[in-house]
Structure 1
């Protein structure tokens, strides 16, 4: 391919679900208009067409999606605010039902294995959702209304000249069209100065350092059991967010360990059964608390209706200039968090609240007043909580190791309870 060919009606930079959704909508519009001439489209992605990087289909099964089966679709319906025809199609849940009923799938045997018995309230693997995106793109292509050229490569430059725009790839190829659709998803940042310093320090001391990034794209073989990483070797982990659980889930399998359900546990606790090959993980973060969990099952949280952070409030914010997160935004969000906490307590343990909290919260005009309501209307320390604990779990107090263990244990217990009995 030379730098002067590859002309299209539209070029997509980024080939994940954003691109798939746009192609699907294009087909819907063409079908609605009666147009029969196919639109020539090029889709460029550095990892995988349709699945993209996040839902790439070659990643381990331990990496789960962060939304449930029931929450995912690539097709809009009549409830979507948009122009053009409403054209609902199979949701992820519908697709899984169809795949299970078919008993086979041309992509891979594991597609059937993962689809079998998967419920709407459960979290699918990311790779299974990637196959769903692939199937939806294939369905759009099969309509004959789009002629899609799939390009695996990395776009590095976009040049506009007259009515034609050109996308340059690292291999020197050029894809031109009057319309360029920037459909990138989670674009990875360049290494920060801190990361660069850690890389240099690790190299100077002959240490292994894996920089932040997508879990599915990391060289985890560097921390598999080896001459460099012996059983019991200390491995530092920075961060206790979602990626931490991806890493632990994947590496535990590589080390030969496994997680097993605790028999009869009402909260669904797991017990880790080690293989003896594991290194010693020392994990930490700025707060030192594990990332917030999500319920995995049929017990859905109660429907949420904002009391303070309403659509009208957001509309008012959009009219302000020089907006301050601290002064203009966060106090209202804090009141919303406080209301959620106190309303849940009122439903599940009404005896723990003093009356009049709602009137005082409605009248609160800033964060200190919101915190005062939380402090004064909850009886007993067990359920007392302040918004500032989201940022500072100890409320700024220095605590010892045993007290810290108690705080983390209580946090985990409360999470398990709220997921099993959501309010």
Structure 2
């Protein structure tokens, strides 16, 4: 008689992470069926109020003006790791794009076909089109589901998960139904977050004074039509959400960008508001360089390498970020900059061979003189490189630091100059020393993700170094938009549609005039003022500040807890993510016990993994395939294996 095993699992969250778990469950179920005489019956409940595949963030119906932050060749839902069970179907986004150009699906809309017709591997797709890929891939997976596996989708929210007393869980749905299941996967993605005290004050003042306040939100969720044309609007934040705000309030209202006189210009429709933009740096993120791959091919890490990490492991050293890892990446950044400088601008360094030899010697991590290496580098630079060609990393991240401006008009001119210079450097790609220094940081992030995961560095180092200063520093340099966005922003500023507040802005409310205000201590003149304010920020990814009924219930019941980290002074600090044990990742309950049968994937792992928001990276032939690139897909596979093991 055939032995039949019956397994039930619930996946809460049907965006890319939840869909990855589903894909792995299907692949592993098929592999089990092919290699075992025993039958396997698997039922999977997928719970999400948004359609499965795209989930909340990647809805195919959203504005096509919202672009991905990575090029077509980058993302994938399907693992390409030969050590994992083979996928049933599916490809990377780029291969899907090529297939649709050759043989488009009949279900593609006219807008999707139009975008695909001109989209190349190096272009930045719309988030809507990536959502279409996710949905298409899910449909293919369901068509190939092995016998004995059933999948049921529940387009509603999960509001509770509680143990049922027999090793199973009851999942309560907002629609009133309760699902009994053996395993639960928390693939919650971006969850609602409570406002911080300052934001609550601004929101309360807006309600009292009849102003409009838009709290942090996914851009596709915002009703942009509520922002009046012709009036000022204060926008806080100049990261990626800012560019979504910018384009929706300009191109999204009928304005046009045209090329004239060798530069991009903006032709207003008359329906735009006056956008007044503010951020801590006073400038937006630097734009991405024009490259053929995700990482610059001319940059190879020499110091922060897998071999260096292995040396730490063999020596029994748990590295610190500031003292052990950053000095290695700093060296790589300097080498990338100066080696590019002598190649692309040979006149900048008269004796190139002598300079590179001396620089290499100064950068070498000597065992007993590591503390003095920066002085050695400065000595080499003093001999060979003039001040104009030196790399100033802090200035790259904060280009307005130390400057004062007599007016906002003067500030606007400086920001436009910065934007155009940055776009020019992006266009030079591998031949720009600044962009190659940033390219080294970009390579380094991939190595750091592996180095710091699962307690790879000390808590104190994570809190004060990695998250304390490096994260915001590197994001401002290496996580920027396509260069086109910088050119567009410069055109909007020249057209008078966008102006800027300046660094270190202070926001408030003038109750007498009934206006939001923003001012910078480095810019003279009256504060900027508006009746409308937009927080161009993503909702905070902090589990302790969540506004999710499900996560709130799990925390209140003690089934999960935030992870505490210890500072250098020995003080406990509540970190952003859940406390989990690997592998696979299972949450730690308030009493310290591991909640078996419950698994965590994605953003809520932000205290064990760094850089959890970015998609899995497709293998790009000829370019590095870092272990961290498909980490989330391996995490999903580990979860699937544990579920099917029963």
Q: Identify the TM-score tier after normalising by the shorter chain.
A: 0.7 to 0.9
Please say if residues 210 and 219 of structure 1, whose CA atoms lie closer than 8 Å, have aligned partners that are also in contact: no
Moved more, 213-222 or 379-388: 379-388
1:44-59 to 2 correspondences below 5 Å: 44-59=47-62
CA-to-partner distance for each residue in 1:199-246, whole Å, 9 max, x for gaps?
Answer: 1122222211111121111222211xxxxx241x11111111111111
Task: Tell me the C-alpha RMSD between the 2 structures.
Answer: 3.1
Instruction: Tell me by how many angstroms 1:170 deviates.
Output: 3.1
Report the equivalent of 2:44.
Answer: 41
Do the aligned partners of residues 185 and 70 (structure 1) sit closer, same or farther apart at CA in structure 2, a change above 3 Å counting?
Answer: same
Matched position secondary structure for 2:44: strand
Pick from 162, 165, 172: which aligns with 1:168? 172
Q: Within 2, Cα distance between the matches of 1:189 and 1:337?
A: 36
CA contact (8 A) 2:163 2:169 kept: yes
Other-structure match for 1:3 = none
Q: Distance in 2 between matches of 1:367 and 1:399?
A: 37
Give me the whole-angstrom Cα distance separating, in 1, the residues matched to 2:171 and 2:376. Answer: 51
| Aligned partner (choices 413, 423, 442) of residue 416 of structure 1 | 423
Distance, in Å, in 1 between the alignment partners of 2:74 and 2:194 is 31
Q: Which residue of 1 aligns with 2:11?
A: 12
Tell me whether 1:284 sits opposite 2:291 in the alignment: no
- 1:97-246 alignment runs, 5 A limit: 97-145=98-146, 146-161=149-164, 162-223=166-227, 229-231=228-230, 233-246=231-244
Give runs of aligned pairs for residues 308-323 of structure 1, distance below 5 A.
Answer: 308-314=303-309
Query: With structure 1 as the length reference, what TM-score do the two structures score?
Result: 0.84
Please state if 1:304 is matched with 2:315: no
Q: What does residue 530 of structure 2 align with?
A: none
Cα offsets for 1:28-79 (capped at 9, x unmatched): 2222333575521111123221101221112100011111111122222246
Quick one: which of 332, 347, 359 aligns to 1:351? 347
CA 1:378–1:395 in 2, change beyond 3 Å: closer, same or farther?
A: farther
Contact residue 371 and residue 386 of structure 1 kept, 8 A: no
Match for residue 340 of structure 1 among 336, 340, 351: 336
**Equivalent pair of 1:335/1:370 in contact (CA under 8 Å):** no
Using the TM superposition, give the Cα deviation of residue 297 of structure 1 relative to its aligned residue in structure 2, in angstroms.
7.5
Change in 2 beyond 3 A, CA 1:213/1:13: same
| Structure-2 separation of matches of 1:67 and 1:43 | 28
Residues 207 and 337 (structure 1 numbering): CA distance in 2 closer, same or farther, change over 3 Å?
A: farther
- Other-structure match for 1:226: none
Instruction: Give distance in 1, aligned partners of 2:337 and 2:197.
Output: 39
Listed as ranges, the matches of 1:63-78 within 5 Å are 63-78=66-81
SS at match of 1:334: helix
CA drift at 1:198: 1.6
Cα distance, 1:122 vs structure 2: 0.7
**Which of 361, 364, 376 does residue 362 from structure 1 map onto?**
364
Q: TM-score, normalised by structure 2?
A: 0.57
Q: How many residues are treated as equivalent by the alignment?
A: 404
Q: Does the CA-based 8 Å contact 1:8-1:176 persist in structure 2?
A: no
Q: Deviations over 1:335-376 (max 9, x none)?
A: 333232222212211332471233223356379649847974
Give 5+ residue unaligned stretches, structure 1: 1-6, 224-228
Alignment of 1:373-388 (within 5 A): 376=382, 379-388=385-394
Instruction: Give the C-alpha shift of residue 416 in structure 1.
Output: 1.9
Provide the residue aligned with 1:257 in structure 2.
255
Q: Per the alignment, in what secondary structure is the counterpart of residue 151 of structure 2?
A: strand
Which structure 2 residue ranges, 5 or more long, are not aligned? 1-5, 431-646
Shift of 1:400: 4.9
Mapped to 2, the partners of 1:292 and 1:352 lie a distance apart of 24
Q: Distance in 2 between matches of 1:388 and 1:377?
A: 22
Cα distance in 2 for residues equivalent to 1:412 and 1:10: 50
Preserved CA contact (<8 Å) 2:47 2:158: yes
Distance 1:395 1:244, change over 3 A: closer
Q: Aligned partners of 1:283 and 1:406: how far apart in 2?
A: 14
Specify whether residues 270 and 87 from structure 1 end up closer, same or farther in structure 2 by C-alpha distance, changes over 3 A only.
Answer: farther
* Cα distance change of structure 1 residues 84 and 103 upon mapping to structure 2, 3 Å threshold: closer
Contact 1:12 1:43 in 2 (8 A): yes
Cα offsets for 1:148-179 (capped at 9, x unmatched): 21112222322223310222233333222111
1-structure distance, mates of 2:66, 2:18: 22
Distance between the aligned counterparts of 2:293 and 2:20, measured in 1? 30
Match of 1:26 in 2: 25
Q: Please report how far the alpha carbon of residue 278 of structure 1 lies from its aligned counterpart in structure 2 after TM superposition.
A: 1.8
Moved more, 324-333 or 284-293: 324-333
Residue pair 2:61, 2:128 contacting (<8 A) in 1 also:
yes
Q: Distance in 2 between matches of 1:221 and 1:317?
A: 55
